[in-house]
Amino acid sequence: MRLTLVRRLNTLSKDLFKIHPSLAGGSSRTEAVVALESTVITHGMPYPQNLKLALSMEAIITEHGARPATIAVMDGKVSVGLNEEELSDLAKSKSCRKVSRRDLSDTLSKGLHGGTTVAATMLLAHRAGISVFATGGIGGVHRDGENSLDISADLTELGRTPVAVVCAGAKSILDIPRTLEFLETQGVCVATIGDTSDFPSFFSRKSGHHSPCHVANVQKAAELIHIQNRLNLQTGILFAVPIPQEDEIPNDQVEEWLQVALKEADSHDVRGRDITPFLLKRLTELSNGRTLTANLALLRNNAKVGAQIAVALKKLQDSEHGSCSYSFRSTHASQTAQSTRLSAVALEDEEKTGRPVVIGGTVLDIMASWNSDFQVR
């Protein structure tokens, strides 16, 4: 079931989650929320550009009518929504972990700081009841991935976590056609927003490949999310937003710089999770800062589009069901899970009507025994 944000937050383990007051308060019932990742702060770019970016993305989301919720791990707790001091701590830190789904338990158990990747941010946003997440570009199948099997966990997370991810496509350092094929295998709806179905490649508006779906504007994007929620599909949606035309760098120019960076990465034996930050850093250097400028522009643009989608989606949900919607999301068929779902519906009904609600349950155990021997034929 799709709970209100406040109700979902109240079900989280208080010793593992720290919720910003602006999200835990009553106002989050009536406002759209957009999740933001934190690896762009901890591993994406240097200080102070990273802090300025984080603050500007949050300001853009607020300006367009939604609440920002930057997600990170702080002192062994998942923080949903950060204050300015916490953002500054992340931006200045030299020891933050890069945290994907596989790293969450270990990072929390050791009480560490961590910047959450696209995969981890999706997972945690969903746990907190947030449906829309804005980022720069997703990870994907790396070049030569058919041999190395270096495939980002972002892709499998999109295949199992129902969050809409707004991005500028896959990073241009990746194998884009194989990334799109992998997303198809995972059952992920990929849609370009705008006047074309061309799939963008981060710094460039086109990659030479097409998204399987296309939506004309943010309203249509919100409608797509709303329908997917009603269908109870347990997969994410990838919305590809082309970088603003004035900030675009031609694909062939990016490829020229990238080939140099790839050779350097190979000669220095850079592998795994270190390859993306290494390549992006070298692209910034080789382009004399042009790729960094483009990166900042597309991140801010995605924050704006994400906020617009979240606001449109909230209006759709409110117009259909008021303050809550009854779309069952659990795939578990056990009696206990069913009881939990019905209890939550009742609590939301109490919230709307003010009527007291009594919830009860019964458990029946049956044991059977035979007094004589028998044979099964």
- Which active-site residues does the annotation give? 37, 171
Q: Are strands 17-19 and 77-80 parallel, antiparallel or unpaired?
A: parallel
Distance of alpha carbon 223 from alpha carbon 220, whole angstroms:
5
Q: Which residues contact 343 (CB under 8 A, 6 or more apart)?
A: 359
Q: How far apart are CA 326 and CA 271, in angstroms?
A: 45
Which tokens hold the place of 85?
Answer: 């001091």
Buried b vs exposed e over 194-221: b needs ≥16 C-beta within 10 Å? Answer: beebbbbbbbbbbbebebeebbeebeeb
How far lies 244's CA from each of 35, 168, 205, in Å? 22, 10, 8
In 3-state terms, what secondary structure has residue 246?
A: helix
Nearest Cα residue to 325 out of 87, 40, 4, 76: 4
Rounded distance, CA 241 to CA 297, Å? 12
Residue 375 C-beta-side C-alpha neighbours within 13 Å: 1
Q: Which helix (H) or strand (E) holds 57?
A: helix 49-63
Rounded to 5 degrees, what are φ and ψ at 374?
Answer: -145, 160
**What are the tokens at 115?**
């910047």
For the record, the structure tokens of 182 come out as 């992998």
**How many whole angstroms separate alpha carbon 269 and alpha carbon 43?**
19
* CA–CA dist 36, 32 (Å, integer): 13
Contact yes or no for 302/69 (Cβ under 8 A): no
Q: Are 306 and 34 in contact (CB under 8 A)?
A: yes
